[in-house]
Structure 1
Amino acid sequence: MSELKYTPIDEIEQIHSDLRKGFLSGKLKSIPYRKQQILNLAYLLKDNIERFQKAFEADLGRCTLEADFLEINATITEVKGAYYGVEKWAKPEKSPLSMNWTAMRPVTRKEPKGVVLIISPFNYPIWLSLGPLAGAIAAGNAAVIKPSELTPTISALVAELFPKYLDPELFRVVNGAVPETTKILELQWDHILYTGGGRVAKVVATAAAKHLTPISLEVGKSPVIVDPKCDLKTAAKRILWGKMANAGQTCVAPDYILVPQEFQDPLVDALTEVYHSFYPSGPAESNSFGRIITINHAERIKRLLDNSKGTIVVGGPGECDTSKKYIAPTIVKDVGADDSLMSEEIFGPVLPIVPVKDLDEAIKFVNARDHPLALYVFSSENSTKNKVFDNTQSGACVANEVLIHTAAEGLPFGGTGPSGSGYHTGKYSFDMFTHLRASMDSPSWLEILLGARYPPYDDKKAKALSKLSNISLPARSGSGSSPTRWFLFALVLAGLAVLTKRGRLGGFIR
């Protein structure tokens, strides 16, 4: 196992300067070079899967199946997607046909933002660092990864492997805790991605504001609404798995359940049955259940449990051993809105159940709090699902499933409002680290049409420009006017553009 060594604080500014120099060298303007670096990133994981599996077990108590399914395989898949997608993603994008602008050949260039910073959390230290990094590379950026000091084995392994697989002039790892992170945030970056808790997110946002640095943030508390008209057995299995995976340390884990009062006991019975099927010999000795990241984190969760006024169904504070970072998988029913378990994001294997009057009250409960990072609803009724989705706000809204939407290809991952800003995974990571640069090339012959813009102004010129701008509106009834005149005008422009390209109007313009 690699030993975690913090990056000397007096070297951090030089690392930043070296990466700026590397970015300005233009190496990453080459799409083939970007692809090579992305492929190297994929092999960094694939060549060292066993070492990463052991590191996950050492830092988080994760079993191999959970480490592979939740993180390693998902990250390799995302990196591979960037490898195959970068050529298409990076192509300049032509603007739609426009009678006023087509002759100027308007185009949106996809350009890198520069040198970016990715601050990743302890709970998904690979997926939330190397996944976004693939998008940053695809976009042509240099990057610093700041892994969590709470996963020392994984962070040390990443630091060891980076210079063996990636260009050190462009990609570096900075390890450390608060002093090192503070130093990093004093520097100017071209984009910052931070995933973690709301308190630190405010610190990152404040530091970024000093340099007007764009940021993407991800935080949140994710509720589950359970409708009596659902596949109860499947719902219980999926909810409990989502809550207990990685010992509940997942930003989109089900944080609490809202269920109609009369359906609380059937739901509790179903969850209890699933609990015993997951851990037939008890979770304490199960190799399928992880551990909390630190003793302090375990003690925080236990305090929430100790102060809860809800009714323990399974687990509970009496079965916890914080000295071993063990919080027993726990289900608590009859939890009130003002309960200790509702005071903050639990981020542990404790599942509160909050009984409500009906669906309307559940929606009001969600809307009275910060927008969640994910909102789940279990129901067989489309009308129920639509009602929840149409009347709430959240980073994601998912029916009859939990967690795995974050790995679905083509879907963005991100929050809204207090649960975050910005999106990543797949092409969305590329977009996040890309500057969309407007560009056009206006030929001289357009002076025939646009010459009226120059002083001295008169009524004739004003009328000509007004006609060119086409500021007329459709009739109030919604019916539009005939486009024939403008269609013919567009054909003329297109013809002129072709002639210009072939050089047949050069003499006329001169």
Structure 2
Amino acid sequence: MSSQEQTPQQIAGLVYNDIEDIKEINAGLRKAFLTGKTRSLEYRKNQLKQLSFMLNDNQDAIVEAIRKDLGRARFESVFAEVMGTTTEIIDAIHNLDKWAKTEKPWSGMAWAMHGAAVRKEPKGTVLVLGAWNYPISVQVGPLIGAIAAGCTAVLKPSEVSPNSARLLAELWPKYMDPETTRVVNGAIPETTALLDCRWEHIFYTGNGTVGRIVAEKAAKWLCPTTLELGGKSPAFVDESANISIAAHRILWGKSLNCGQTCIAPDYVLCTKAVQEKLVEELKKAAAEFWPESKGGVVKSDDYGRIINHGHWKRLNQMIGGTGGRIVMGGEKDESSKMLAPTVVADVPRDDAIMQGEIFGPVLPIVTVRDVQDAVDFINSRDQPLALYSFGSSKATQELFDGTRSGAAVQGDVLVHFAVGSLPFGGTGPSGYGSYHGKGSFDTFSHQRATLNAPHTGIMGKIVEKLMAARYPPYTNANLAQFASLVGKKPNFSRPRNPHASVSTKSPAAV
């Protein structure tokens, strides 16, 4: 077979796991979990430390694998992948004792002697299905929470980024304990085999079509899922914004990883007057990012490439079918999968380019009358994974209050992903569940309610006497006694109800 006939996976030397072995891997991890090995906080910390050294020892190899897959610049891979993921690992190590500590909530005098507590326990054996666009941060990233929580886990990297998937499979057993975490590679058959196994949590990053399949498969086992999907994340630019700063930040967010980012600004909403100013500032920003004196974006090593020819053709068909005006970019080269950042102005609201997530360096601009028109347009579509606003606090407040989105960011794009104290996740069609920082630990943890009711000795006798009113034969006197011990009565006045058709009275006291 010639190299022209080989698949990207074959060229990268990516070896798929045998389907027959997948059940055994699942069973082995489940068995390891039941030994209690991962319940030790010290063990979890050591595995997280190993993971951090895996990333840092092999930073150059990771950067090169991502370059082969996505044509991405070293700066972007270190900044957006290795650095951020390593920071999250270190934060998890430093905070794990606090996150895992049993909580003892105050439950009132009635239960003061019952030792009410909430234990943070691992869910069990979990599956992480990764995405190709950020092979470290959205694939290894969720594993941080799974390891910190004490789960055993399988990571299934995306075969669409075969060089990165191969490297992860090679590095993993050199650093990580294969009894508790494994990397499984493959395509649809192998993923299906994984989904046919029993898991205690499935974490999927990708598109809504596959997300529905994952959720349906998980339902067989009543398995909880986290779905990190995508959608069309808008950026609203108000006339009060600093248009130059807005243009620089929007263009950076749209060109990072060649626009193949789930929270990239998918389109811009602004007035006609703002559109003309914004286009000019976008052009100036592009000239600064990729100077013509160095060959511009076409020859720049700082600009990535589309993941494969299929996606490249899809994006070019999108540009060719738009009813808007191409006002910037449009340069392309199919052989290298290069597609320059392309801005399309005056895009009709029902344009083909507005029907689905672009996931590439194409930026449509849809004009609106004002912020309320922008709110109405956003609400007429699926809830986005992120919503960006450039403008006054008043306009931004109106925009955020009137819409729903996974995240809401004023004055910038993408950067909320890097803030470890913020939960990252979608809502509705853009996904559900969240992770990052403590959120990752919580996602893979079960909050186990515990109660230690005294039942021996003097304390047992005291509590038994206090609680004996619950036993038959039932009497009104016992009910009143029990209600006084554990019940509560409204200590507030009744609010006016303008919708009530008849007057209501307070229920008789027990």
Choose from 218, 238, 242 the match for 2:249.
Answer: 238
Q: Does 2:336 align with 1:336? A: no
Unaligned segments of structure 2, at least 5 residues: 1-10, 455-459, 496-510
**Residue matched to 1:424:** 435
Shift of 1:475: 2.9
Query: Letter of the aligned partner of 1:464 in structure 2?
Result: Q
Shift of 1:97: 4.9
Shift of 1:232: 1.1
Choose from 426, 429, 445 the match for 1:434.
Answer: 445
Query: Letter of the aligned partner of 2:474 in structure 1?
Result: Y
Q: Does 2:476 align with 1:459? A: yes
Shift of 1:470: 3.3
Write the distance in 1 (CA, Å) between the matches of 2:18 and 2:51.
Answer: 25
Choose from 269, 280, 283 the match for 2:297.
Answer: 283
Conserved? CA contact 1:305–1:340, under 8 Å: no
SS in 1 for 2:110: coil
**Residue matched to 1:367:** 379
Write the distance in 2 (CA, Å) between the matches of 1:94 and 1:17.
Answer: 35
Conserved? CA contact 2:129–2:203, under 8 Å: yes
Conserved? CA contact 2:66–2:135, under 8 Å: no
Shift of 1:336: 1.1
Equivalent residues in 2 for 1:428-507, closer than 5 Å = 428-443=439-454, 444=460, 445-476=462-493
**Residue matched to 1:101:** 111
Choose from 315, 321, 330 the match for 1:301.
Answer: 315
Query: Letter of the aligned partner of 1:461 in structure 2?
Result: N
Shift of 1:467: 1.2
Conserved? CA contact 2:255–2:341, under 8 Å: yes
Write the distance in 1 (CA, Å) between the matches of 2:281 and 2:12.
Answer: 44
Write the distance in 2 (CA, Å) between the matches of 1:474 and 1:162.
Answer: 59
Query: Letter of the aligned partner of 1:305 in structure 2?
Result: I
Conserved? CA contact 2:117–2:449, under 8 Å: yes
- Number of aligned residue pairs: give it: 475
TM-score after normalising by structure 1: 0.92
Shift of 1:409: 2.3
**RMSD of the alignment, in Å?**
1.2
**Residue matched to 1:311:** 325
Shift of 1:340: 1.3
Conserved? CA contact 2:420–2:437, under 8 Å: yes
Shift of 1:322: 2.6
Query: Letter of the aligned partner of 1:331 in structure 2?
Result: V
Q: Does 2:47 align with 1:37? A: yes
Write the distance in 2 (CA, Å) between the matches of 1:3 and 1:89.
Answer: 40
**Residue matched to 1:271:** 282
Choose from 334, 346, 361 the match for 1:322.
Answer: 334
Conserved? CA contact 1:260–1:359, under 8 Å: no
TM-score after normalising by structure 2: 0.92
Shift of 1:140: 0.4
Query: Letter of the aligned partner of 1:327 in structure 2?
Result: L
SS in 2 for 1:360: helix
Write the distance in 1 (CA, Å) between the matches of 2:12 and 2:350.
Answer: 45
Shift of 1:209: 1.2
Write the distance in 2 (CA, Å) between the matches of 1:355 and 1:273.
Answer: 21
Shift of 1:3: 2.6
Write the distance in 1 (CA, Å) between the matches of 2:170 and 2:319.
Answer: 39
Choose from 63, 72, 77 the match for 1:67.
Answer: 77
Equivalent residues in 2 for 1:252-263, closer than 5 Å = 252-263=263-274
Q: Does 2:20 align with 1:26? A: no
Shift of 1:86: 1.0
SS in 2 for 1:93: coil
Query: Letter of the aligned partner of 1:120 in structure 2?
Result: G
Write the distance in 2 (CA, Å) between the matches of 1:383 and 1:438.
Answer: 43
SS in 2 for 1:145: strand
**Residue matched to 1:398:** 409
**Residue matched to 1:485:** none
Conserved? CA contact 1:38–1:134, under 8 Å: yes
Q: Give the fraction of aligned pairs with identical amino acids, expressed as a percent.
A: 48
Write the distance in 2 (CA, Å) between the matches of 1:231 and 1:477.
Answer: 49
Shift of 1:469: 2.7
SS in 1 for 2:234: strand
Write the distance in 1 (CA, Å) between the matches of 2:349 and 2:279.
Answer: 18
